[in-house]
Amino acid sequence: MPTINENFLKLGKNYLFINIAKKVNAFMAENPDAPLIRMGIGDVTLPIAPVCVEAMKKGADEMGVKETFRGYEDSGSGYDFLKEAIAGYYKKFGVSLELDEIRVNDGAKSDCGNIVDIFGDDNIVLITDPAYPVYVDSNKMNGRTVIYADSDESNGFAAMPDSSVHADLIYLCSPNNPTGSAYTREQLKEWIAYAKANKAIIIFDAAYEAFITDPDVPHSIYEVDGAKECAIEMCSLSKTAGFTGMRCGYTVIPTALHVIASDGTDVSIAQIWGRRQGSKFNGVSYPVQCAAAAVFTEEGQKQIRKNIAYYQENAAIIAKTMEELGIEYTGGKNSPYIWLKCPKGMNSWGFFDYLLHEAAVVGTPGEGFGKNGEGWFRLTAFGDREKTKEAMERMKKLLS
């Protein structure tokens, strides 16, 4: 009989959103006619931009013609046409990237989880709490020691480094899921200084960069000096361009990023990640890469900005409702998430049940993102406008 990786037994039995789905399904079984409004899972609702659809169709047509058909991609790290488009996008923020510093993937979740493969199990991993659950789960699966930096009311849910604590790997997510907080240039400077002092590597998740409105908040960590020597950046078209069902993202590993192995060998992180991906990943489908490249065209940017503006307006509606109800919240400004303090002193799951049963509105209990999420709750702005407004009316009725 094979043995299993027993670290899996130490994880919560289900991924957070599976637990939510179970509760919602049970509620719907009891109340089949309930007019449910889902503001829980961070999935988008608007269709992908017409330029992306056209580009994908053209890519699909090419696959059906002998002369233009494409099989396995040589590198599996993305076609140059898409990497050039991504590099062009970074130029807007004053960041210059070589094409071989970019690897295209099937969305940020895979790389956020898989990147741990190239790091030793003895690393100390620092994760801000609350956090996107993938960071904690994927490290615990390998039995790594995870330590936490508290993001709470005292720091506006944006944890800052503690020089008395050592870490080797640091996960930062800005704008943050779930709290909606976003690091300024000055705050990222402190994290970079901390990483350098600890010879640590930052894994910077920029999945929500397209929602940034504040000029002090960088879209890329590489906008801050020194980041190329200590940071990996992950980004995704899921929230930027509605690609949650398309699956495309990218990871940037600067060539300047190196570590010294135990035998003194100088190791390029990009090289070993490329080695890992070469054995375990065969690239993203050609039509999807065509659609992804269309996101970065002038017309593509215009069309995706329209959808992002729609979600931002939803976020403003939710934020205004929280203000009217006198409920404390963060986010909504550089982020599609509103992170609110559960009213009436309820805990996260208590408020989840209350909102579900009394208003048929589904949100996400903050506790599911870590201990500092207890007593807090996440609502997403990715929904339909009318449903968002209706949900806010129901919350006003329930909580006024």
Q: Which stretch binds ligand PLP (CB under 6 A): 105-113, 191-199, 209-217, 291-299?
A: 105-113
Sole binder of ligand PLP in the list 138, 238, 303, 388 (CB under 6 A): 238
Place of tokens 């879209």: 219
Q: Are 273 and 27 in contact (CB under 8 A)?
A: no
Task: Tell me: does residue 392 bind ligand PLP (CB under 6 A).
Answer: no
Sole binder of ligand PLP in the list 177, 187, 303, 334 (CB under 6 A): 177
Task: Tell me: does residue 148 bind ligand PLP (CB under 6 A).
Answer: no
Task: Tell me: does residue 205 bind ligand PLP (CB under 6 A).
Answer: yes
DSSP of 273-290: HHHHHHHH-----HHHHH
Sole binder of ligand PLP in the list 38, 83, 109, 378 (CB under 6 A): 109
DSSP of 59-104: HHHHHTSTTT---S-SSSS--HHHHHHHHHHHHTTT----GGGEEE
Instruction: Look at residues 138, 175, 174 and name the one whose alpha carbon lies nearest to residue 7.
Output: 138
The least distance separating ligand PLP from the CB of residue 134, rounded to whole angstroms, comes to 7
Task: Tell me: does residue 38 bind ligand PLP (CB under 6 A).
Answer: no
Instruction: Look at residues 211, 156, 215 and name the one whose alpha carbon lies nearest to residue 336.
Output: 211
| Dist. CA 351–CA 295, nearest whole Å | 38
C-alpha to C-alpha distances, 174 to 181, 203, 246, nearest whole angstrom? 7, 11, 23
The least distance separating ligand PLP from the CB of residue 244, rounded to whole angstroms, comes to 5
Sole binder of ligand PLP in the list 119, 132, 157, 191 (CB under 6 A): 132
| Dist. CA 308–CA 46, nearest whole Å | 9
Site map for ligand PLP, 65-104, x if CB under 6 A? ----------------------------------------
The least distance separating ligand PLP from the CB of residue 207, rounded to whole angstroms, comes to 4
The least distance separating ligand PLP from the CB of residue 174, rounded to whole angstroms, comes to 9
Instruction: Look at residues 295, 308, 301, 296 and name the one whose alpha carbon lies nearest to residue 335.
Output: 308
Known binder of ligand: residue 135? no
Q: Which residues participate in the annotated binding site for pyridoxal 5'-phosphate?
A: 72, 108-109, 132, 177, 208, 236-238, 247, 282
In the complex, which residues of this chain contact ligand PLP (CB under 6 A)? 42, 107-109, 112, 132, 173, 177, 205, 207, 236, 238, 244, 249
